[in-house]
Amino acid sequence: MSTIYYTADHEWLSVEGDVATVGITNYAQEQLGDLVFVELPEVGKTFSKGEAVVVVESVKAASDVYGPVDGEVTEVNDALSSDPALVNNAAESDGWLWKMKLADVSQLGGLMDKAAYDATIA
């Protein structure tokens, strides 16, 4: 069973054990508009919470997607290379960006649940 967390920067994480799948929220993709390019990280890249990991480019602007917690990229969603609109169509499922091994599970305590996130965007 996975637990879903949200950040103030509009990322979501689906966590099982010490592995998280990360993407941007449906709200974030609506704000960005139609995505035309996703620059994914290299597998093996380590990053700290708050560091830019992915760049998403829409018809309006380019935006960084930040590491929600410290970790290491273990997999990227290669389907986005040929179909960046997958993020627009399924932001919180098939449009995930990367998977990561969590460096410090205790950092999850600083993230929001769905109700808290929904309150921030209301």
pTM of the model: 0.96
Tell me how crowded residue 55 is: count the other CB atoms within 10 A of its CB: 14
Order of strands, edge to edge, in the sheet holding 35-39? 35-39, 52-58, 62-66
Give the pairing of strands 46-47 and 71-76: antiparallel
Q: pLDDT per residue over 27-59, tens digit each? A: 999 999 999 999 999 999 999 999 999 999 999
The yes-or-no verdict on residue 1 having pLDDT over 90 is: no
Q: For 51-109, what is each residue's pLDDT tens digit?
A: 999 999 999 899 999 999 999 999 999 999 999 999 999 999 999 999 999 999 999 99
- The CATH label, of 3.40.190.10, 3.40.50.720, 3.20.20.70, 2.40.50.100, for the domain at 3-121 is 2.40.50.100
25-32: Cβ within 8 A, 24+ apart: 25/91, 25/92, 25/117, 26/91, 26/92, 27/121, 28/91, 29/87, 29/88, 29/91, 29/95, 32/56, 32/58, 32/60, 32/61, 32/63
